[in-house]
Structure 1
Amino acid sequence: MPQLNTTAWPTIIMSMLLALFLLMQLKTLSTHYHPPASPKLMNIKPHSNSWEHKWTKIYSPHSLPLQS
């Protein structure tokens, strides 16, 4: 049975890896990526609530007068 000649295998494997690396570099260079999204300006109308126009006061225990 003849012996398998493996002397050229390292050269073939290295050239194949180099070719794959170059192909991947060319593919990534030719890829066009979308620019990052920018925030969209929106026209926000202020909502009119009934309590915004009225004067209100919140009583907390610290604002009450001292009782003795």
Structure 2
Amino acid sequence: MPQLDTSTWSITITSVVLTLFIMFQLKILKSSFPNNPEPKSTPMLKTSMPWEKKWTKIYLPLSLPQH
């Protein structure tokens, strides 16, 4: 049975890995990627929420410098 002869396994595995590596490299090189999108500045809309002042009042003393 030729499958049990392990003398050719290393060359077979090496050639398969090398072939797959070359094929994937060629496939990646042939693909075209879109241009990087440019950052677009969007105006930030400040919405007033009724709970903002409540949270600010609660957490403002914690943000003061401590002695």
Q: Distance in 1 between matches of 2:17 and 2:39?
A: 43
The one-letter amino acid paired with 2:7 is T
Q: Give aligned-pair identity as a percent.
A: 35
Q: Give TM-score, length-normalised by structure 1.
A: 0.50
Post-superposition offset of 1:6: 1.0
**Paired residue secondary structure (1:8):** helix
Q: Distance in 2 between matches of 1:5 and 1:27?
A: 34
In the alignment, does 2:25 pair up with 1:20? no
> Once the two structures are superposed, what CA deviation does each residue of 1:7-54 show, in whole Å capped at 9, x if it has no partner?
10000000000001001100110110000112458xxxxxxxxxxxxx
Matches within 5 A, 1:27-42: 27-39=27-39
Q: How many pairs align? A: 42
Q: Give TM-score, length-normalised by structure 2.
A: 0.51
Instruction: Report the structure number with the largest CA radius of gyration.
Output: 1
Runs (4 or more) in structure 1 with deviation over 2 Å come to 38-41
Higher helix share: 2
RMSD of equivalent CA atoms: 2.5
Unaligned runs of 5+ in 2: 42-67
